[in-house]
Amino acid sequence: MKKHASDPDLEAHATGIITRHLAHRPKAKKMWALLSKDPEVQTLWRMANYVAATKLGMNDHGRIHATVATASALTMLDLLEGSSFTPDIITGGFGTGDDAALVVMTAMLCHDLGNTVHREDHADMSVVIVLPILDRILPEIYGDPDQRIAIRSFVLSAIYSHHGIPKPLTIEAALVCIADSTDMTKGRGRVAFESGSITIHSVSALSIEKVEIKKGEEKPIALVIHMSSPAGIFQVQEILAPKVRAGPLGDAVEVVAVTTDEAHAAGNAIVSGIRMQGGKFVPLKDGAGRSRKSAAHNR
């Protein structure tokens, strides 16, 4: 699959978000510096993308996807602050919010490295590949072996469940699972499709204009997906929503998909949008959410 022209801009924007979220988290900030510039990790990102994109014709599964998804995950983590959805690192007595951010960030950056072996069972292979990397890098941040092993366990658990099957067991793992599917702007959805083919996957993926991650009206997190046509609903219903429902954050996230003003003006909008309510989606009233002005925390 060809590289998107906007990928460098997406990566730069995501890196800025990550830097902002890590400014007050010294351990996570140090891990970001070590991991993002690690020669082994950089090569694994290139190889994961080679296997996924070049050999299998899939979408980006390399450094850019890892960076964009990490920005999403950290944004959602901060939105949970002050809610009843406290990271398991904290409730379990394993560390602080800084440690929770380190876990989410590390798992997100490394979740797809198993693609270097094969797409099949790549989550399992990611755990195998990432384990020695963690054992090499984590001692530079955690001197206490007990805490280091606990942090490693949280990271590996989040990587293993990032597809939602098996279901994520911790808040940190749920954030990784959901954020993986938020990287869907302009055809960057997490379902493979052959470049140039006309399928529900390709049409739906290319219908996603923007993903906003912001504070919800009734829940801590709102994911608002802006679509150029209602075909984008497929991505939301079949790819994103199951991951939201899979883990312990199902009741913490609002999912809304809305058609853009341009789509309405062009007559391309059959419906204004949809909202997830429990296990199903219901239509929005005309204009609901589409014209609402609010500050986005991401993209």
With b for 16 or more beta-carbon neighbours within 10 A and e for fewer, the 130-141 pattern comes to beebbeebbeeb
Predicted pLDDT of residue 198:
54
- CA distance linking residue 73 with residue 80, whole number of Å: 11
pLDDT classification of 246: cutoffs 50, 70, 90: very high
Token duo for residue 93: 């007595």
Give the pLDDT band of residue 190 (cuts 50, 70, 90): very low
On the question of pLDDT at 5 being above 50, the answer is: no
Average pLDDT, the chain: 86
Confidence category of residue 267, pLDDT binned at 50, 70, 90: low
Residues 256-281 have a mean pLDDT of 69
In the prediction, which pLDDT does 199 show?
61
Q: Quick one: pLDDT at residue 80?
A: 98
Share of the chain above pLDDT 90, in %: 65
CA distances (Å), 185 to each of 26, 115, 165, 254, 297, in order? 31, 22, 24, 18, 15
The pLDDT of residue 53 is 81
> For residue 264, what pLDDT is reported?
53
- Rounded CA gap, 158 and 150, in Å? 13
Minimum mean pLDDT range among 37-51, 152-166, 189-203 = 189-203
Q: What integer pLDDT is reported at residue 277 of this predicted model?
A: 77
Task: Provide the pairing of β-strand 273-277 with 221-227.
Answer: unpaired
Q: Using a cut of 0.85, tell me whether the model's pTM lies above it.
A: yes
- Dihedral angle at the C-alpha atoms of 7, 11, 12, 13, nearest 10 degrees? 100
> pLDDT tens digits, residue range 75-124?
999 999 999 999 999 999 999 999 999 999 999 999 999 999 998 899 99
